[in-house]
Structure 1
Amino acid sequence: MSKLDEVGERDAWRCWLCDEPVDPAMSVNDPRGPSVDSITTAKKGAKGGQERLAHRACNTKKGAVKPVVPWPDRLFVIDPAPIIGVVEQLTRKGGRVAVARCPSEADAVEAGEWLVDRLSRLAPGLSVTTRIDAGGGGFLLVLTT
């Protein structure tokens, strides 16, 4: 079994960046084909890190810059926090982080459910729950470890 197959099986053949399925039969040269992305979570310049499955295009687009995992357009969130930064902070320190404001409680619940589901694949070892705090005419979505 190749390293690509091992990483693909472990990640359930889903791109860690866009969270869309990756076809293992597709050519690795195709933009939607599979590739292995090395994620360095240690200090800048340190060797090592984790390997994750990504589409060739997602991996190429990311390049050597810090990846961005987008919030979906269908969610009504204001001032959303960068998801990768939140994951790094909660992994390193634990605690709680305010991740977005929402105009209604229903919007906050929907965003919270999506975020917990997304983090379960993005950072499987990180156990998080959501809390919604009312205030200032809106609702604050908070992640807690």
Structure 2
Amino acid sequence: MPRHAVRVSHAFATDQLALAGLTWKSSGHCADRHNRVCTSMQAIRSETLVGVIDLKRESGCPVVVTGGTEAGHAPGAFSHAAGYKIDIRHNKCVDRHITKKYPRAGVRSDGSALYRSASGDIFASESDHWDILFR
């Protein structure tokens, strides 16, 4: 996988996730980037993929991606649509890994607890998933 920031296709991204032992789920059972009930990785940054794959490798936890570049997320330069963010399901293993490894970094305006890695990645604990920004 490229180590510099390039945009990749949905097919390439899901292949890389599968090779690394991650899965992805869509509440709408679809991958259309323009449909908010789908889960799409179309035009996600390769560095975002590397980040979530590294999280799985470091933690040893099962990781399920539930959100990528599809419509319905907040806009911005470092957004889902821009390929910088990815959502993963909460589970006890992932929750423990993130909250033990990374220091607490405050609370987001929506009330989500924030954790920040030394490299600047931000993990927001939303009600049913982790919203992760990989810089």
The structure with more radius of gyration: 1
Return the structure number with greater helix share. 1
TM-score (norm 2): 0.29
| TM-score of the superposed pair, with normalisation by structure 1 | 0.27
